[in-house]
Amino acid sequence: MNSVPLLRNSERQDFKRCLQRWHWRWNEHLVPIQFHTGPLVFGKFGHIALENWYIPGNVRGRHPAETWDEITSDYWDSVKNESAKYVDDEIEGTWEDARKLGHEMLMNYVDQYGHDDHWEVLWVEKPGAQLIPNPRAAVDARLKNQLIVNYCYTMDLIVRDHLHDGRIRYVDHKFVKSIVTEHLQLDDQNGGYLAIGTHELRRLGIIKPTEAVRDLVYNFVRKSLPPDKPRNQWGEYLNKDGSIMKRPPPPFFERYTVSRTAAERNSQIKAIGNEALHMKAIRQGKLPLYKTPTRDCKWDCVFFNLCQVHESGGDAEEVKEGLFRKEDPYAEQYYEKGVK
């Protein structure tokens, strides 16, 4: 087991986003020293708030806005820095502004969806892992029993949806600036998670051997608040003269469902294995590293300044020593518990 490397979905995302970024984070284990209050922190706290709301069974738990207030207050007290900024891709202000925004968003979330009485919660924020076979075994019989990676994960929420004939669904909470769904049919997260979730839930006896996690529901929460305008009985926003707004704000919430067949779920298992083989080849020096610069690098990559120095031939090692520390993402006890 020790010879089989671990793999998380976040590493897969970094790997496909930019090989250099992947290398600095997952091979050199670099993380910024400086305090960060950006979108990842916002989303993490939002997940915790909804985790305490969707407790196992049909009865909901603590109101997510209450949990949000508590954890963000504790976080703020630990920072002891009233000038701390919250910086998102297009949202900037103080962390106190972000705290208020999150509170109102979660209040509106419960107003929008109520208690989701049709959702019977089966699984909440539990880690797990699944051994992935070498996908090359299909063409090389010598690799038949070779395991290429141990895929570890944390799935947000698994529910039995009684409004849809008791289908087993994986609900993935997304706190975003804008809701974009066009790419989700091709999102590789959903196929892998649905296949692995099915295996794990069957093993634990939570679902029947004949049942499968067939759908992934992207539970979008947009980081914005409704305008202070009246609405009619159909929920349409009105102008001061009572007319309907011609350009109403985009949705603040959306639940977008992607379904996968057994063949599609199995295909994603092969994709995970192929990515792991590619990573292995780079680590062994058989394939080169290269950068994938985009207009988003400045806000969505903590290595942006290091990358500029590295690209210009400057002293990148000095920047690493001054701005980063080392933290192994696979040394977290949270993920070790999920490895079998």
% pLDDT > 70, the chain: 88
pLDDT in tens, 271-315: 899 999 999 999 999 999 999 999 989 888 989 999 999 999 999
From 3-12, 38-47, 54-63, 151-160, the region with the lowest mean pLDDT = 38-47
Whether residue 144 has pLDDT greater than 90: no
pLDDT at 334: 40
Whether residue 268 has pLDDT greater than 80: yes
CA angle 59, 220, 292 (to 5 degrees): 140
Q: Are 175 and 42 in contact (CB under 8 A)?
A: yes
Whether residue 338 has pLDDT greater than 80: no
CA angle 332, 336, 339 (to 5 degrees): 150
Higher pLDDT, 234 or 323: 323
Residue-wise DSSP of 78-140 = HH--TT-EEE-SS-EEEHHHHHHHHHHHHHHHHHHHTT-TTEEEEEEEEEEEEEEE-GGGGT-
pLDDT at 140: 86
pLDDT in tens, 4-19: 889 988 899 999 999 9
pLDDT in tens, 170-207: 999 999 888 988 888 877 666 677 778 788 888 889 89
CATH fold group of domain 6-34+118-336: Lambda Exonuclease; Chain A (3.90.320)
pLDDT at 333: 42
From 9-23, 35-49, 267-281, the region with the lowest mean pLDDT = 35-49
Q: Are 37 and 84 in contact (CB under 8 A)?
A: yes
pLDDT at 337: 44
DSSP secondary structure letter of residue 143: G
Whether residue 116 has pLDDT greater than 90: yes
Q: Are 125 and 46 in contact (CB under 8 A)?
A: no
Domain(s) labelled CATH 3.90.320 in the chain stretch across 6-34+118-336
Confidence of residue 2 (pLDDT cuts 50, 70, 90): low
- What is the SS3 assignment for 168? strand
pLDDT in tens, 67-93: 999 988 877 665 545 445 555 554 566
pLDDT at 175: 92
Mean pLDDT of the chain: 85
Q: Which two tokens stand for residue 242?
A: 């009572």
Whether residue 214 has pLDDT greater than 60: yes
